[in-house]
Structure formats: structure tokens, C-alpha cells
Homo-oligomer: A and B are copies of this chain.
Amino acid sequence: MIASPYLLYLGHVNDEVGIKTSRGLAVFRPDDCVGEFRHDDCELTLGLPRMGFAEAVAAGARTLVLGIANAGGKMGDDLVRDAVAAIEAGLDVASGLHNRLRDEPALVETAGRHGRTLHDVRDPRPDIPIGNGKPRAGKRLLAVGTDCSVGKMYATLCLERAMHARGMKADFRATGQTGILIAGSGVPLDAVIADFISGAIEQLSPPRDDDGWDLIEGQGSLFHPSFAGVSTGLLHGAQPDALLLCHDPVRPHMRGLPHYPMPGLRETLDANLQVARLTNPDVRAVGVALNTSKLSAAEAERLCAETADALGLPCTDPFSMGVDPIIDWIVKCFEPSPRKATLSL
């Protein structure tokens, strides 16, 4: 487990996508974030107090989270220098970058000398089994998308928060580095060996019998030619009872692939239901989550209403409008199983 509270690293980054992991933590774990570290040339902020490393330690921080993405996942000299200084000030370091902290000799040496811990959240655990597809107890929801990065993690985390507010049992199950840092555990699915994709999800989301929900973070898209294999294995391993369809209505084409148009919502839903039925024939769709951050409130309302009509499912922007219609629908579709009578003799 990664020790909290956190100091969130922005460094020299100046594009929003580049700090999305740090921002995810600030949004979904605000109580665990004491401040942000940024250099003078960084013009972004998470709205947290700006702090140096010693100052953060004095404020209670225990881990510097390198919540940034840079081209190719590489660790630049700047980043290593900052992380060394953080360790020397008394912080552990956690990273979701492709390049591993443990492969940087300066970090390993400094952490060893100061008795600090380095967390590479993109290292899968070593004991992932081959998936077996055996039906397992419990209720599971999986977020699926028309594309990568359309808001699957945000939608799932909003759902968890709102279910908790209603007194429902629900646990977010993380499958990407940002989600893992937010949840404190999970599987970095994109780093798992191909034969173990579905097994990794069976391990992540074991049988449960408490009438609670596992809310599994989706990855990629069945329509993304680079990553559909991951999405397929994730669907099979999740054995989802419920699918939440996520979409970004202003995305012009598949992420990174101008030669691939976005698929339609109905087409996406049908394909996901078809693949999911292999391991759970009773799977059903429970709602649509739109990322309307680039639309006006009126446009967003209209688009959600039109989408709900077209698909016959509740549709909302989980982040700006909440997820109540979707939870209502889930409750309606999945009546709680009758309690087993317990005899005390």
C-alpha cells in the first residue's frame, strides 16, 4: 500500500492531459492530497497549496506521486533530480509511468540510503492466473467505451461515490495507473502478459456474496484497433452483469488514429453485449455516460435526453449532472436478492 497523504507532482508539464493522474487524485481523493509541487514554468494548478518537498513533509505528506505522463513515458533528468530531492526530504515516491523507478539507479540508491519506498504501480503482481471463465458470485458493472480516454474511470468513480451516498455497497476496481493510485490497489492491465488478461480481472474482482457491486474500470474499446484485445479480455474476465457505456461526443476520430472514425453508440453497445455474453449470458446495459465538458449546459442536457430516447437507457454526464438516473435503473434491474433467513437456536 502507498502511504498517504500525498504531494502531487506537476513538474514542468503544461498540458492538461499530461497531469491527468495528479488531477484524478486531487478530484477523487482530496482529503489525501496536501499539496502540489510545480516549477515556475508550470502554469497549471490543481487548486492545492504549492509546496516544496520539506514543506510538504512538515505538512504531513508521506509520498510524492509522479502523476504526470510525458512523451513515451520516459523519465527525464529533471524528474529524477526532483524525485531524489523528495526522497532526501523524507518522502516515498509513487509512479505510474511506463519507465520504472526501480530502473533509475540514482533513485534506488537514494531510497535505499534513506529507507524510503519506491512504488511502480505499472508492475503487475507476479501470481496472475490464466482466466477460467467459471461463473462467480457477486454483481459486477464494467464501464465500456466507444474509444480510449472517454471518461470510463471518472464515470465509474462517480458511480461508486453516489452508491456509497445511498448506503449501497460498491467497490471501484482499478485497471489503469491513475485508478490504481486513486484506489490504492488494482491491476495495470496494459502491462499484463497477453495470455493473462482475463485471469487478471478474475483475480481483481473475486466472488462476493454481500449484495454489493464491483465497479470495474474499463480500458480501450472494442473499436480501437490498437487495444481491442485488452478490452475483449477485460469483458470476459469481468463477467459483467451490467455495462455502462461511455462516450465523448466531440471526439472527431479514434484516439491517435485519424483514419478510424468513431463507432456509433448502438453499434458499440451491441458489440460489447455480444462479447460479454460469452461469460455472462444475462449481461445488460444500464446507462450511458457522456463527457460533456466541452458543451454548454443546454447542449449537454439536450444531447443526454436525445441519447436516452434513442437507446432506451438513462443518459447523463456523471461528473457534471450526477448519476442518479443510472443508479435508479440499476436498482430497478437488479432487485436485491431475498435475504437468507438465519436461525439462531
Contacts and interface: CB of A to CB of B under 8 A. Distances in A.
5 contacts: A132-B225, A226-B236, A228-B233, A229-B232, A232-B232
A132 B257 CA distance: 7
A117 to B, nearest CB: 25
A61 to B, nearest CB: 32
Contacts of A233: 194, 228-230, 232
A225 B275 CA distance: 10
A192 B275 CA distance: 22
B228 A232 contact: yes
Given A132-B257, A191-B195, A229-B233, 12 more contacts: A132-B225, A132-B256, A133-B226, A133-B260, A134-B259, A193-B194, A194-B194, A198-B225, A198-B227, A222-B232, A229-B229, A231-B232
Contacts of A135: 259
Interface in A186-208: 189-195, 197-199
A131 interface: yes
A223 interface: yes
A133 B199 CA distance: 26
A168 interface: no
A79 interface: no
A278 interface: yes
Interface string A268-284: 00010011001100000
B198 A278 contact: no
Interface in A274-303: 274-275, 278-279
A130 interface: yes
Contacts of A132: 225-226, 256-257
A226 B235 CA distance: 11
Contacts of A194: 189-194, 197, 229-230, 233
A260 B279 CA distance: 9
Interface in A234-283: 234, 236-237, 256-257, 259-260, 271, 274-275, 278-279
Nearest to A260: B133
A132 B190 CA distance: 16
A194 B193 CA distance: 5
A305 to B, nearest CB: 31
Nearest to A254: B133
A193 B195 contact: no
Contacts of A234: 229
A333 to B, nearest CB: 24
Q: Which 7 residue pairs across A and B have the least CB separation, nearest first?
A: A229-B233, A133-B225, A232-B232, A190-B195, A197-B229, A229-B229, A131-B226
A227 B279 contact: no
